[in-house]
């Protein structure tokens, strides 16, 4: 089965909001074996919507649409559905009862005519119950294509997708299996990883595809297997992952999309009852943010000092003014004091400290833009490494965060083995 996803809304096209709905729907459909062939964002214009529907008609099996189901005049999806399916809007008594319960029962106010109009739906559609809002989803088929209209509010859309659409598709359609396995690597760039695994990649079975998903300091390798025999797919993927691990096991830190390096680090620290703290200058707290985004991080992460200015480095983190005056804030010596002091202040086993020039200017330092010093304190020692992460600013910050995690991972594994 093939599907297309369409988001309707001028606010998306002008960048006022970010479309997160498409990604969520794509993942949900992919898990049940449906191939996404297109993602489109279009304006709140009747003719544009109709042209888009016509262009997808019989080209795909499913078209999922979000947006334009609200009660205001600029929400035109329901009326456009009627035009496309040669239908008319009618009051659906079940939807009206649901809307009334929300407005009068939850919001404790009289229902208005605009609220009642939310119960107007095309007479030929199958209603998709919206448990969390007043705009119902709609399921309508024309020739070989099913058009599914969903509210644009993310939590409303997600509930309908998970609890209504996916079960309905699974029940009514036969689908192939699509199985993904993600391998997360750190420390080597995309081209270097590709060179190391070239022979292995060239010998992959035809039903397995490999995709490289690079970002600063890390590369995700996604293997996708498609077919009708689920056991064959799983067994073959497992064997290929085993072969891949034998080739690049030194840079692999996880085997699932959820296995980010900070997740793996959290497991290691928790397992071995170790603690961590950070002192951050050029990253502005992003290392700590990534760490604390992992549920349960409080078991091993004590805290962070974001010493973005020289005064915070000296007054709070207790870095020597003389050291800064002699070597500048971006230096090996300052990074070393930062990590030693944060380890002592927070009373932790491991500590990370970073100081550098993220840009766009070098400020009052001796180093060029892109230069970063990363210091790591372990229970036994302290070391500092110097890196040139280039430009632009966002790249410098992201690579600093990822490299810090990579260095910490290697030290923890070295000390626990």
Q: Which fold has domain 261-416?
A: Maf protein (3.90.950)
CATH 3.40.980.10 domain residues, the chain: 2-172
The stretches of 259-309 forming alpha helices (DSSP H) are 261-271, 286-292
For range 303-332, the mean pLDDT: 96
For range 155-169, the mean pLDDT: 95
CA dist 158 to 128, 137, 147, 161, 163, Å?
12, 11, 17, 5, 8
Q: Which of 275, 278, 250 is nearest to 376 (CA)?
A: 278
CATH 3.30.70.2860 domain residues, the chain: 177-254
Q: Which fold has domain 177-254?
A: Alpha-Beta Plaits (3.30.70)
> Right CATH number for 2-172 from 3.40.50.620, 3.40.980.10, 3.40.50.10800, 3.40.50.300?
3.40.980.10
Which percentage of the chain shows pLDDT scores above 70? 97
The residue with tokens 């950070």 is 278
pLDDT of residue 39: 96
pLDDT of residue 220: 92
Residue 417 scores a pLDDT above 60: no
pLDDT of residue 257: 67
Alpha carbons 318 and 320: distance in angstroms, whole number:
6
The model's pTM is: 0.64
pLDDT band at 106 (very low <50, low <70, confident <90, very high): confident
CATH 3.90.950.20 domain residues, the chain: 261-416
For range 316-330, the mean pLDDT: 96
pLDDT in tens, 353-402: 999 999 887 766 778 899 999 999 999 999 999 999 988 999 999 999 99
Start-to-end Cα distance in the chain: 48
Residue 415 scores a pLDDT above 80: no
For range 340-344, the mean pLDDT: 98
For range 76-102, the mean pLDDT: 91
Pairing of strands 177-186, 218-227: antiparallel
Q: Which residues contact 157 (CB under 8 A, 6 or more apart)?
A: 21, 24, 25, 66, 150, 151
């Amino acid at each position: 089965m093939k599907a297309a996803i369409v988001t309707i809304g001028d606010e998306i096209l002008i960048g006022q909001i970010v479309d997160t709905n498409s990604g969520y729907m794509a993942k949900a459909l992919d898990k049940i074996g449906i191939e996404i062939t297109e993602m489109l964002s279009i304006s709140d214009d009747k003719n544009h919507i109709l042209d888009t529907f016509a262009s997808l008609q019989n080209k795909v099996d499913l078209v999922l649409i979000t947006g334009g189901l609200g009660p205001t005049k600029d929400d035109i999806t329901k009326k456009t559905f009627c035009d496309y399916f040669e239908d008319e809007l009618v009051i659906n008594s079940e939807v009206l009862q649901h809307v009334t319960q929300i407005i009068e029962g939850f919001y404790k106010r009289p229902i208005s005519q605009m609220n009642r109009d939310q119960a107007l739906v095309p007479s030929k559609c199958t209603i998709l119950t919206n448990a969390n809002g007043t705009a119902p989803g709609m399921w309508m088929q024309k020739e070989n294509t099913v058009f599914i209209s969903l509210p644009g509010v993310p939590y409303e859309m997600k509930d309908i997708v998970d609890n209504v659409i996916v079960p309905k598709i699974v029940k009514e359609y036969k689908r192939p299996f699509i199985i993904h396995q993600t391998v997360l690597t750190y420390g080597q760039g995309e081209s270097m990883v590709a060179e190391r695994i070239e022979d292995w990649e060239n010998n992959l079975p035809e039903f397995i595809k490999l995709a490289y998903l690079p970002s600063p300091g890390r590369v995700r390798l996604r293997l996708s297997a498609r077919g009708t025999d689920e056991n064959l797919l799983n067994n073959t993927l497992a064997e290929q992952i085993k072969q891949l691990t034998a080739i690049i096991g030194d840079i692999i830190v996880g085997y699932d999309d959820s296995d980010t390096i900070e997740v793996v680090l959290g497991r290691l620290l928790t397992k071995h009852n170790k603690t961590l703290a950070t002192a951050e200058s050029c990253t502005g707290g992003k290392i700590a943010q990534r760490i604390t985004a992992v549920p349960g991080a409080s078991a091993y992460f004590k805290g962070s000092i974001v010493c973005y200015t020289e005064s915070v480095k000296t007054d709070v983190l207790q870095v020597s003014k003389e050291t800064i005056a002699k070597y500048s804030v971006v230096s090996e010596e300052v990074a070393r004091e930062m990590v030693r002091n944060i380890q002592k202040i927070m009373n932790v086993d491991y500590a990370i400290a970073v100081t550098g020039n993220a840009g766009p200017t070098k400020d009052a330092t001796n180093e060029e833009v892109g230069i970063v010093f990363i210091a790591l304190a372990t229970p036994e020692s302290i070391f500092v490494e110097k890196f040139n992460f280039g430009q632009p600013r966002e790249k410098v910050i992201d690579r600093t965060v990822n490299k810090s995690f990579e260095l910490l991972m290697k030290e923890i594994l070295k000390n626990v083995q």
